[in-house]
Amino acid sequence: MAALRYAGLDDTDSEDELPPGWEQRTTKDGWVYYANHTEEKTQWEHPKTGKRKRIAGDLPYGWEQETDENGQVFFVDHINKRTTYLDPRLAFTVDDNPTKPTTRQRYDGSTTAMEILQGRDLSGKVVVVTGANSGIGFETAKSFALHGAHVILACRNMTRANEAVSRILGEWHKAKVEAMTLDLALLRSVQHFAQAFKAKNVSLHVLVCNAAVFGLPWTLTKDGLETTFQVNHLGHFYLVQLLQDVLCRSAPARVVVVSSESHRFTDINDSSGKLDFSRLSPSKNDYWAMLAYNRSKLCNILFSNELHRRLSPRGVTSNAVHPGNMMYSALHRGWWVYTLLFTLARPFTKSMGERQDLMARKKGRMMASEQTLLCT
């Protein structure tokens, strides 16, 4: 990870680009000033725009402000083990004398989670991510961990989960990250995970229901339910119910359910408009892999909406997130036809890191609201 990119300093804007011989600096209390080395003078106004600026937000996680023997402020990046006299927040300043709002979009389809969370210190926050050993889940867990959160990777395959933990620690050796066993295809495993988590006596600020399967042939779990329905929806539903009391005690907290636009291409009602439970966990003769996936995603959204209605008065919000059309991941591994389809579509899809800006952007807005209201 490049230190300047992590700090956001590679994000330039032509309007704010300084003329040759000028340098941008900051005071201890967060005001920006400009040094003209040619004329050996300083000023508060930008030499091109005439605007005054100040720093917005806290230092990114892993950074610390210090003062040298000459009284000049410098910054230590403990993650990349380097120092700089450039304030890492300079790419995210705000105008002291704002003018007409600009239409320039700050984030777009290529923005990554690390860029969205830049400047957020999530120290003290506890995050659980299901299916976090690869793909979307891994990028989610890594992004939170590299910003100070205590992250738990809830995975079925512990070998791969521990490898994922090692990869995150390889980027930041002080990251608070661990793996715990969770098999959503076995309700007893969900119960054991909840019991083990509660035994830690920690809070739970974010629960990301990410794990999913796609394109599986018809199979039943040991609980006697169709696998896609149980893994994608029912297992997460049960997990949230078991951890609901912890979420409420940890408020403000939130649940993020990774869903899909494919929920639009199915229904779970019969011809008379009533809920048809047989469609949720169909028999082998009535099973089609794509429809099973679509219905599980519809259940995700209905569940998230109702969960928000019930728990938001207690400080727990719930949001369903669509990760992006045909986003390339390992989700297609159930059948070679889907693997071929996703491979052909890969050049036109978002990367894992880019997809993470959706959840991170929502998380960033919520954290900013918390810091304003609760001074956390």
- Residues taking part in catalysis: 293
Q: Are 25 and 31 in contact (CB under 8 A)?
A: no
Distance, CA of 197 to CA of 174 (rounded, Å): 21
Distance, CA of 161 to CA of 122 (rounded, Å): 22
Residue 244: Cβ within 10 Å count: 19
Backbone angles phi, psi at 177, to 5 degrees: -145, 140
Element (DSSP H or E) covering residue 183: none
Beta bridge pairs of residue 275: 269
For 283, what's the count of Cα atoms within 13 Å in the CB-facing half-sphere?
A: 2
Distance, CA of 71 to CA of 165 (rounded, Å): 40
Element (DSSP H or E) covering residue 209: strand 206-209
Task: Mention every residue, 6+ apart, whose C-beta is less than 8 A from residue 21.
Answer: 36, 37, 38
Q: How far is CA 128 from the centre of its chain?
A: 11
Backbone angles phi, psi at 297, to 5 degrees: -70, -35
Residue indicated by tokens 């605007």 = 51
